Amino acid sequence: MSPVIDIDDLDRGENSHQFIGADHDVPVSMFLVHSAPGNGPSLHRHPYAELFIVEGGEATFRVGEDLIVAGAGTIVIAPAGTPHAFTNTGAGELRMVNIHTASEMETEWLED
User: Around Cβ 83, how many Cβ atoms within 10 Å?
Assistant: 16
Can you tell me the mean pLDDT for 8-29?
94
pLDDT band at 111 (very low <50, low <70, confident <90, very high): confident
What share of the chain in percent tops pLDDT 70?
A: 98
- Average pLDDT for residues 74-85, to the nearest whole number? 98
Q: What pLDDT, in 10s, does the model give residues 24-73? A: 999 999 999 999 999 999 999 999 999 999 999 999 999 999 999 999 99
Closest by Cα among 45, 50, 47, 25 to 100: 50
Rg (CA), the chain: 14
| DSSP line for 39-66 | ----SEE-SS-EEEEEEESEEEEEETTE
Give the fold, CATH level 3, of 17-109: Jelly Rolls (2.60.120)
Confirm if 99 and 75 have CB atoms less than 8 A apart: no
**pLDDT of 29:** 98
User: Residue 1's pLDDT band (boundaries 50, 70, 90)?
Assistant: low
Question: Is a pLDDT exceeding 80 seen at residue 86?
Answer: yes
User: Using CA atoms, how far apart are residues 91 and 35, in angstroms rounded to an integer?
Assistant: 11
Domain-wise residue ranges, the chain = 17-109
| Alpha-carbon gap, residue 98 to 91, rounded angstroms | 20
- Tell me the pLDDT of the chain averaged across its residues: 96
In the predicted model, what is the mean pLDDT of residues 87-92? 98
CA dihedral 63, 106, 10, 43 (to 10 degrees): -30
Report whether 98 contacts 44 (CB < 8 A).
no
